[in-house]
Chain A
């Protein structure tokens, strides 16, 4: 069973700050890549919780009916079944809406996946506030905090179509316990062509020496926009895409602290224990001169009613908010 890791790359333009750029639902790229790999690798199976449609697995089921395991609305069972499949040499992609996959099955993720080190690929579909008006029960903004606390579990947050494909390919090429946030809220392509997804590494999307944005998922395109605005007033912002939350790219964080005068983090997640907290734990332990001002943008409370875009703005996660946070942080330097 050979694994083709070279093709097909999504046809992506380079990083853009064009607000009219087309946007995409990453679930499409996810399902497409999974099916492509499953054609030549019989180890690949999909497991879901009555989420064939919402996990975008309909085409997978039609092509590989025996390799789509739908356990029904039973998330604890679902993750355990994934662990059993992995322990028998399969590569299970366990797909469910991210809030239920992580919240309902957290103990299974801890004991059966991370602690047991079974190579389950946990695919948190429609993460963050993708379910907008459905409210906090259906938002997955705690996942990064919860899962960061589990040793031995990789956490990948693809920022666009290309990274989603790359994450799926990485999971098959080198299976290990992994959580992938598979976004539903449409995002533009942000990854420059030829940029590889490397385990435990951020990608630098834009170079800069004045301030650093460390952002993830839906916030990457917003940080690119913010950097363009800052550039108009002569402030050069470095933009780092934290596509791996775990393992954490400590080196890139330290470099940002030493080489730029402030850091702003932003994530579609709760700030208690998420990406910003991870960055803070690194920066706050550096030598005095490198402990640069830091702004951590994210959620601090359960969301009110609103669409995803409304809520992102409500919680201060627009590009304009990022610009303001960067200016404020620099002012404290």
Chain B
């Protein structure tokens, strides 16, 4: 298990305090800056590793940044804190974005990111909770995170604590039937402490979701499965913050976060071939310029 980076935890705490006191505009500017640094780190990490899922990492970055910097009730110095909010990255192939976010929150040293996918690294291509503090369950095969989150939400209810459970699925991942089983259960058990976020970048590995096995009308589908549905711009910090507010209906919350795969790097944005393509040295420089 990687060790906590207390120095980074202090940086995280300072930002959290700043965000709590900030005006909405200042808050969004602070989150944008944090996300910019995270995106730069993702590009560098994937370039070093020579592997990774850059498109999905960049589409989920603003969601992760907002959750970890602002929303989640967590203590990176105590990753197993009782009653903490939980986060599961069900689209585990975007581990790069999660690792970067966790490292920059102090769960472990950012220098560790240089080992991403290297032999015997704790930072496998998909997250392992037994190696990486802050990871709640091992993901990778799609359609696993939401059922586990449902179990965590039930446990919070049974233990009478007010923890909230957040989980991010890729939109292509919603083609997995286990997600819909889990939504039915979440609705049946009135798990209003569950927040299921769909990173709706409209691309999956092999093509556009709507050309493959169409998800729309996703909002109606989620609503018909008993969710309180919120459709937002997944790159708007103001909308993300608002969407992460507790359920108002006693139902589980489902957020369709409309995103752009590869967000922030023009030549990667919305291109199916960038699902797991690795940028060349020249492209890395261009990407970092765009993110400067």
Contact = CB atoms under 8 A, between A and B. Distances in A.
Contacts of A80: 144, 146-148, 150-151, 178, 182
Interface stretch (B9-17, B131-139, B225-233, B239-247): B131-139
A112 to B, nearest CB: 6
Interface residues of B, number: 33
Given A45-B158, A72-B185, A88-B156, A79 B138 contact: no
B72 to A, nearest CB: 16
B129 interface: yes
Interface of A: 45, 66-67, 69, 71-72, 74, 76-90, 92, 107-108, 111-112, 115-118
Interface in B142-186: 143-144, 146-156, 158-159, 177-178, 181-182, 184-185
A66 B189 CA distance: 10
Given A81-B150, A116-B138, A88 B159 contact: yes
27 contacts: A67-B158, A69-B189, A71-B185, A72-B188, A74-B184, A76-B143, A76-B147, A77-B181, A77-B184, A77-B185, A80-B144, A81-B151, A81-B154, A84-B137, A84-B148, A84-B149, A84-B153, A85-B154, A87-B137, A88-B156, A89-B82, A107-B141, A108-B147, A111-B139, A112-B137, A112-B144, A116-B129
A89 B143 CA distance: 23
Contacts of B158: 45, 66-67, 90
B140 interface: yes
Tell me if B's interface is mostly helix, strand, loop or mixed: helix
Contacts of B181: 71, 74, 76-77
Contacts, number: 105
B139 to A, nearest CB: 7
A71 to B, nearest CB: 5
B159 A89 contact: yes
B16 to A, nearest CB: 24
Contacts of B144: 80, 107-108, 111-112
Nearest to B130: A117
Nearest to B136: A87
Contacts of A108: 144, 147, 178
Contacts of A83: 137, 147-148, 151
Contacts of A74: 178, 181-182, 184-185
A293 B137 CA distance: 45
Nearest to B140: A111
A81 B148 contact: yes
A237 B9 CA distance: 64
Interface in B75-96: 82
Given A88-B155, A112-B147, 4 more contacts: A84-B147, A85-B154, A90-B155, A112-B144
Contact of A84 (B128, B139, B154, B159): B154
